A and B are shown apart, each in its own frame.
Chain A
């Protein structure tokens, strides 16, 4: 879990300039985001509502990907944003596996992150 935890910590770093794509990545990780303030989803839905963030529904992921694809930004920037969302999806999978007591999570997490992030 070290690799996953480090990734999340990097995303939570308050000194880091928060970009829209970071917010989407964080949201995919299960965090609610309001402006530059990060509210962990674990603080309950009430916390998200208090932070002024509307609840997410099942159409959220397709809508985010669609919005990314429609943006008229340079392809390189769009690529980096999609790559970050891709990594967030993987981490989300790993987090789900962790919550279900996956025994070999650390090795699989490390392998997947190396494959997906280090390359």
Chain B
């Protein structure tokens, strides 16, 4: 087994399928980030109650980690358990689309191993990047690029702190900006796309590092579950693996990763899409899932 190559990158890890897919993809590609800054929620993602406030130090942190993980990984686990046909369909189709995907999907719900996911892991109690604890932790990690994995909007004050945030958007920039990028790409362009770019103050308007459109993927189901189950399935597996594929392509295309730069976007080209209404969402889901 070869020793993984260390990438001059800090992963700002927000618990959930996307961040996990990134770490697993990096491991599969034989690279690992120099640092992971892991945000551990101060309050429960759903109930908003404080997590582990009354427990001492490490016990409180461990409790909060567990509680956050159980919440953010609920749907991938619940759907896989209650509607295994959906997971099986996604798993086999994504393996054909991108060989090796099953290795990622099968491990997506496993616990993150702090000892192997990065050279250094820093844990901070933070609900998102706007939390005051985040910027000092990123500075302490000391890497030239930070991979943003979600968890809210990065506020201007953080963007202005001299940190370069790389983000993978599930849409082909500049043509598909905004929310529900994978669903809009499916309806508008007939195929999935993803783009890595550096965050700026706009919505998906920063300099593009790597933009890709991929072959369409369809998942054959023996029956059609409700739209909400299919929508959650997309965001449990398909969307995270699409982003991870783009991250992999980005790293492969830039051997000197620390010096990677983006190409400015033309602000007059492309559309910024809103969250998709349920009636249009059904049309998009019907193009992804076949019965």
Contact = CB atoms under 8 A, between A and B. Distances in A.
B203 A82 contact: no
A19 B203 CA distance: 28
A16 interface: no
Given A65-B280, A119-B203, 19 more contacts: A61-B279, A65-B279, A66-B283, A75-B189, A76-B270, A78-B188, A79-B175, A79-B184, A79-B189, A79-B271, A79-B273, A80-B271, A82-B184, A82-B280, A83-B274, A86-B274, A117-B274, A119-B272, A119-B274
Q: Range of interface residues on chain A?
A: 20 to 34
A75 B274 contact: no
Contacts of A69: 187, 283
A85 interface: yes
Contact of A76 (B175, B272, B283): B175
Contacts of B175: 75-76, 79
Nearest to B277: A89
A87 B274 contact: yes
Contact of B188 (A75, A89, A90, A116): A75
B276 interface: yes
Q: Range of interface residues on chain B?
A: 20 to 34
Nearest to B186: A69
B182 interface: no
B271 A90 contact: no
Interface string A81-100: 01101110110010000000
Nearest to A90: B277
B273 A115 contact: no
27 contacts: A65-B279, A65-B280, A65-B283, A66-B283, A75-B188, A75-B189, A76-B270, A78-B188, A79-B176, A79-B189, A79-B273, A82-B280, A83-B271, A83-B273, A85-B280, A86-B274, A86-B280, A89-B277, A89-B280, A90-B277, A93-B277, A115-B275, A116-B274, A119-B178, A119-B179, A119-B203, A119-B272
A20 interface: no
B178 A82 contact: no
A82 B187 contact: yes
